[in-house]
Chains A and B, each alone.
Chain A
Amino acid sequence: MSEEQIKNLEKQFDERIARDEKIEPKDWMPEKYRKTHIRQMSQHAHSEIIGMLPEGNWITRAPSLRRKVALLAKVQDEAGHGLYLYSATETLGISRDELYEQLHTGKAKYSSIFNYPTLTWADMGAIGWLVDGAAIINQVPLCNTSYGPYARAMIRVCKEESFHQRQGYEIMIKLANGTPEQKEMAQDALNRWWWPSLMMLGPTDDKSVHTAQSMKWKLKRKTNDELRQQFIDQTVPQADLIGLTVPDPDLKWNEERQSYDFGAIDWDEFWQVVKGHGPMNKERMKARVGAWERGEWVRDAAMAHAKKKQERKEKQAV
Chain B
Amino acid sequence: MSTKNWPLWEIFVRSKNGLEHRHFGSLHAADAEMALENARDVYTRRNEGVSIWVVESKNITASNPENNGELFEPAQDKVYRHPTFYDLPDEVKHM
Contact = CB atoms under 8 A, between A and B. Distances in A.
Assess A/B contact in the complex (Cβ within 8 A). yes
Interface of A: 24, 26-28, 76-77, 80, 83-84, 87, 90, 95-97, 152-153, 156, 160, 299-300, 302-303, 305-306, 309-310
Interface in B18-36: 25-28, 30-31, 34
Contacts of B6: 299, 302-303
B62 A309 contact: no
A27 B67 CA distance: 11
B66 interface: yes
Interface in B29-77: 30-31, 34, 42, 45-46, 62, 64-66
Given A87-B8, A90-B8, 11 more contacts: A26-B64, A28-B66, A87-B25, A87-B27, A95-B5, A97-B1, A97-B2, A160-B46, A299-B6, A303-B5, A310-B31
Contact of A26 (B5, B25, B65): B65
Nearest to A88: B25
B4 interface: yes
A310 B56 CA distance: 14
B64 A305 contact: no
Contacts of B28: 96
Contacts of A96: 5, 28
A1 B33 CA distance: 44
B25 A303 contact: no
A96 B5 CA distance: 9
B30 A302 contact: yes
B62 A80 contact: no
A27 B45 CA distance: 32
A27 B63 CA distance: 11
Contacts of B8: 87, 90
Given A27-B65, A300-B4, A306 B46 contact: no
B45 A80 contact: yes
Contact of A97 (B5, B34, B45, B46): B5
Contacts of B64: 26
Nearest to A302: B30
Contacts of A300: 4
Of the listed residues B5, B27, B28, B30, the one surrounded by the most CB atoms of chain A closer than 10 A to its CB is B30
A84 B25 contact: yes
Contacts of B45: 76-77, 80
A215 to B, nearest CB: 25
A84 B45 CA distance: 14
A303 B4 contact: yes
30 contacts: A24-B65, A26-B64, A26-B65, A27-B65, A76-B45, A80-B42, A80-B45, A87-B25, A90-B8, A95-B2, A95-B5, A96-B28, A97-B2, A97-B5, A152-B25, A153-B25, A156-B25, A299-B4, A299-B5, A299-B6, A302-B31, A302-B34, A303-B3, A303-B4, A303-B5, A303-B6, A303-B30, A305-B30, A305-B31, A310-B31
